[in-house]
Amino acid sequence: MKWIGYALGAGLVVAGLVGLVMDSYPEGWALWFGGVLVVHDAVLVPVVLLAGLLVSRADRWVRAGLIVAGTVLLATLPTVLAWGRRPDNPSILPLDYGRNLLLVMGFLAVVSLAPRLRSRTVGLGSLAGLAAGLLVASLMAVNGMIDLGQWALFLGHAALLGAVLGGFFGARLYNLANAFACGLLVGLLAWVLWQLTLLPVLLGGHPMWTIQSGDFRALVGEVLLGGLTGPLLFVALRRAPAPAATEQARIARVVIVGGGFGGVGAARRLEWFLARGLRADVTLISDSTSMLFTPMLAGVAGGALEPRHVSVPVRAMLTRTAFVHGRVEKIDTASRSVQVAGGAAVPYDQLVVAVGSVPSFHGLPGLAEHAFTLKTVEDAARLRNHVLGLLEAADLDEGQRPELLTFVVAGGGFAGAEAVAELFDLVHGVLHRYPGIRPEDPRFVLVHAGDRILPELSASLGAYAREKLARRGIEILLGRHVSGASARAVRLREGDEIATRTLVWTAGNQPHPLGTEADGCLRVPGGNGVWAVGDCARIPGPDGVPYPPTAQHALRQGKAVADNVAAVLSGREPAAFRYRSLGVLVALGHRTAVAEIRGRRLSGFAAWAVWRLVYLAKLPRLENKLRVLTDLAFPRDVAHD
């Protein structure tokens, strides 16, 4: 049992840490904290935590069931296990268990209440608690349960109970019965925390975590207090006028444009708030029905992954958000609506623009017509089909072979480095099926304007990557600029011309035309309820330098903008976005990669393993993870359109 406890605790600590490091999501804190306590000695704590997490995520009826089941479990398990019946601890609850339980509950209460302390539900909750407390305290005094001094203490405690009730459940109390049930639950918890724990300690004694020593009249008092406070709060929330500045007056329409990392990240976070009582209609409009997991896009171009497996249907990721498949053509901030191509205008109160970036050819001649871009899953599939088509042609046509088998990638950032490595692996992975082509025939060229590839990484890792690619036979042209392209050649500004049928352009992206500047809180200045996140937005960091256009930033900005939209709808101030990049991971093919994570450098197979694990973990949905794993188990295929 002890070792199971330790293993569970260690697992929770690791899961919590991974969550904290990768996403800093609040559950990460809870898991980590629970793990630490379990490793310490309290095996039951994770039950509390998991129950709390499930309860907070589930729907109404499931939530009610979980609350009942969790309460029964917590109340009976120690008895069933006959724990704690030691001579020095007459309680049916082991002292460690009780103490840690309190710690966890206190921790969760502080974390959950902290951001809401100024809210109207907390204020009204404490007033409702005070009113119910007056009545219950009078009854208790009549029964000789409390004296005058304890009256004041009890009233303070009643106001606190009301504040907790308002903070946790306030916005979610949807009818009198539900308010009564929530009140009873809080009253029950108050009995354990107040009557059995804090009050005895305040009166100079010890906590009384025993059924025997517990005063059942006090239990009745607490349950009565909670049971009265809930309905009183419900009525108060209904009756008290909600000032527009502090509480939303009607259901707000939140529209998100773009179904990528930023848009879906925002929608998922808003759903989290919806489950906790935020009153809003959330609609996501995107011209793609799925969210593309771009870190695996080069794998699609390289034929290692199926296009559908790295795309996750937006509808499958969102449960409380309305989805509209369409392209937004115009944002009208005057009428507060967005115009969907071929459809009606969609009105909004709050608008999140997350439309990403588009390739930029800097006006270079021939690029728009002849270069391949790597932005969408269609781009990647088109490139793969094109390369396989060239292999077919080159197998038969010896004269044109050098031109057919020369592959040029422009841009030595992570997208370009990954693309050239994947193309190399694709061609060499299937070459044995084309007997007319010798392994030395294909030529791969990476053209980069800077003096070193992968400028996102330290110089030493960039040099390592360059050496790895070069050793495989990939030519790296540094300080060279593509100046134009035709169907059969790429021209360089420095004078050379490379005969090729394949130019992959990763050397320029620009914010989408609907994109815009945003302030540190992700608000579009003068936008009147418009926010912008991800690649389409220029968002200044604390030092004024804009955040880089990466998925990890877009995802965090999506969450942050949802927090800010929810804050504004609840009459609070939005917070500035702060995020320090975790680092960069770049796959170089052949089971090698380079990684720089929070200043730590990794290269070779270890970096590749981290890269695989991190991106598999980050890929949404178990189904997609399993499909990608299956793809990786098989060799590359040569069937193409």
Ligand X SMILES: Cc1cc2nc3c(=O)[nH]c(=O)nc-3n(C[C@H](O)[C@H](O)[C@H](O)COP(=O)(O)OP(=O)(O)OC[C@H]3O[C@@H](n4cnc5c(N)ncnc54)[C@H](O)[C@@H]3O)c2cc1C
Place of tokens 């050496």: 467
| Residue 453 beta carbon to ligand X: minimum distance, rounded to whole angstroms | 15
Least separation, in Å, of the C-beta of 377 and ligand X?
10
Contacts of 165 (CB under 8 A, 6+ apart): 125, 128, 129, 182, 183, 186, 226, 229, 230, 233
394's enclosing H/E stretch is: helix 377-396
The least CB distance from residue 502 to ligand X, in Å, is: 16
- Residue closer to ligand X, measured from CB, 49 or 584: 584
Asked if residue 232 lies in contact with residue 128, where contact means CB atoms within 8 angstroms, the answer is yes
Query: Which phi and psi (to 5°) does residue 286 adopt?
Result: -145, 150
CB of 263 to ligand X, least distance (A): 6
Binding residues for ligand X, rule: CB under 6 A, are 257-263, 285-288, 294-295, 297-298, 327-328, 354-356, 374-375, 415, 512, 514, 534-536, 549-552, 554
Minimum CB distance to ligand X smaller for 257 or for 476: 257
Tokens (6 digits) for 533: 């996140």
CB 456 within 8 A of CB 462: no
Name the residue number minimizing CB distance to ligand X: 260
Residue type, 626: L
Count of alpha carbons within 13 Å of 609, Cβ hemisphere only? 4
Q: List beta partners, residue 347.
A: 337
The least CB distance from residue 490 to ligand X, in Å, is 20
198-209 core/surface letters (b: 16 or more CB in 10 A; e: else): bbbeeeeeebbb
Quick one: 280 or 417, whose CB is closer to ligand X?
417
CB of 578 to ligand X, least distance (A): 17
The residue assigned the tokens 């190399």 is 424
Instruction: Outline where 431-526 has alpha helix (H).
Output: 459-471
| Residue closer to ligand X, measured from CB, 45 or 595 | 595
For tokens 């990721």, name the residue.
317
Cβ nearer to ligand X, comparing 549 with 604: 549
**Cβ closer to ligand X: 247 or 422?**
422
Closest to 67 (Cα-Cα) out of 225, 209, 205, 185? 185
Q: In terms of CB distance, is 457 or 514 closer to ligand X?
A: 514
Of 327 and 472, which CB lies nearer to ligand X in the complex structure? 327
Closest contact distance (angstroms) between CB of 341 and ligand X is 8
Residue placing its CB nearer to ligand X in the complex, 415 or 588: 415
C-alpha dihedral sign at 513, 516, 522, 523: negative
Decide whether 9 or 356 has the Cβ nearer to ligand X. Answer: 356
**483: three-class secondary structure by DSSP:** strand
Greatest distance between any 2 Cα atoms in the chain: 106
Residue (2 or 600) nearer to ligand X, CB: 600
Closest distance between ligand X and the C-beta of residue 561, in Å?
11
Q: Are 453 and 462 in contact (CB under 8 A)?
A: yes
We find the least distance from the C-beta atom of residue 25 to ligand X, in angstroms, to be 17
DSSP 25-67: -HHHHHHHHHHHHHHHT-TTHHHHHHHHHHHHHS-HHHHHHHH
CA distance 144 to 546: 67
Q: In what order do the strands lie in the sheet with 345-347?
A: 328-332, 337-340, 345-347
CA distances in angstroms from 19 to 26, 31, 227, 612, listed in the order given: 8, 9, 37, 17
Closest CB 74 distance from ligand X, rounded Å: 41
Give min distance, CB of 583 to ligand X, in A.
10
What span, in angstroms and rounded, lies between the C-alpha atoms of 111 and 228?
26
